[in-house]
Amino acid sequence: MDPAVLREDMVDGLESTARDVLHDEGVAVAMRDVPRHEFFEDERSAYADREHDALGTRVLAPSTVARLLQALALEDDDEVLIVGAGVGYTAAVAAELVGETNVHAVDISRPLVLEARQNLARAGYDGVFVDRRDGATGLPEYAPFDRILLEAAAVDPPRALLEQLATGGRLVFPRGTQRQRLEAVSDDGDRTRFGAVSFEPLLVEGEQAGAVERNRTDREDMEHALRRSESRRGWEHEWIEWEESVDSR
């Protein structure tokens, strides 16, 4: 079947009253224009509203991409950073909305970065910048960004990403661990909550597929270091009666 027809059917299904997923006309037009099959091996299954596995990552279903981009609320000529490039499809839809040279994407997995670059070029979006980076550090060389999309779950967005938001900017991410909700954070700290979602956690170096050594202690070390830095030492607690404590020894 003609891929253009499959795209129309895909978007029509997302816009239907029964699904009630896609409401933004701009996002709908963009999803009708992007040849999603260029990002998948199987042309027909590319337009099914379900997730796929590719190179150790989960490729988002079209309905999830629609929800993310609607929450992001892209405007003309916005500078956009997508953390978690995946196979490149989300970046392509964003490029339709703001222009391909305004879209930057990073991924911690080198094979995925190469895959995304190839897919985007084949689909006609080779102006999208894709680089291999630890997503938690963002892309400071190209900051600030009007919109940042984090395609991985976190309890709170990494500080570096918040610092790379432009004035009036917005960061969208899945907040939580087992139970997650899509959330938008503005540069002044205002938060907007959306519906429930399910994403894999934001990876640190060593956790990505294809890493020489998968080292999950890095995450624990970072979390413990943060807790230690923010915890109060005994001498900072005014309620401790030090003389009594010394006498009791």
In this structure, are residues 136 and 207 in contact, taking their beta carbons and an 8 Å threshold? no
3-state secondary structure of 227: helix
User: pLDDT of the chain along its 249 residues, tens only?
Assistant: 789 999 999 999 999 999 999 999 999 999 999 999 999 987 778 999 999 888 878 899 999 999 999 999 999 999 999 999 999 999 999 999 999 999 999 999 999 999 999 999 999 999 999 999 999 999 999 999 999 999 999 999 999 999 999 999 999 999 998 889 999 999 999 999 999 998 888 865 444 444 444 444 555 555 555 556 655 555 554 544 545 545 555
Q: How far is Cα 3 from Cα 47, in angstroms, rounded to an integer?
A: 9
User: What per-residue confidence (pLDDT) applies to 220?
Assistant: 53
In Å, the largest CA–CA distance within the chain is 86
User: What per-residue confidence (pLDDT) applies to 30?
Assistant: 98
Give this prediction's pTM: 0.81
User: What per-residue confidence (pLDDT) applies to 231?
Assistant: 59
User: What per-residue confidence (pLDDT) applies to 225?
Assistant: 59
Residue type for position 48: A
152: closest CA among 191, 204, 102, 101? 204
Q: How would you class 37 by CB atoms within 10 Å of its CB: exposed for 0-12, middle for 13-18, buried for 19 or more?
A: middle
Domains annotated for the chain, with CATH where assigned, are 3-232 (3.40.50.150)
User: What per-residue confidence (pLDDT) applies to 67?
Assistant: 97
User: What per-residue confidence (pLDDT) applies to 208?
Assistant: 41
User: What per-residue confidence (pLDDT) applies to 224?
Assistant: 55
User: What per-residue confidence (pLDDT) applies to 221?
Assistant: 58
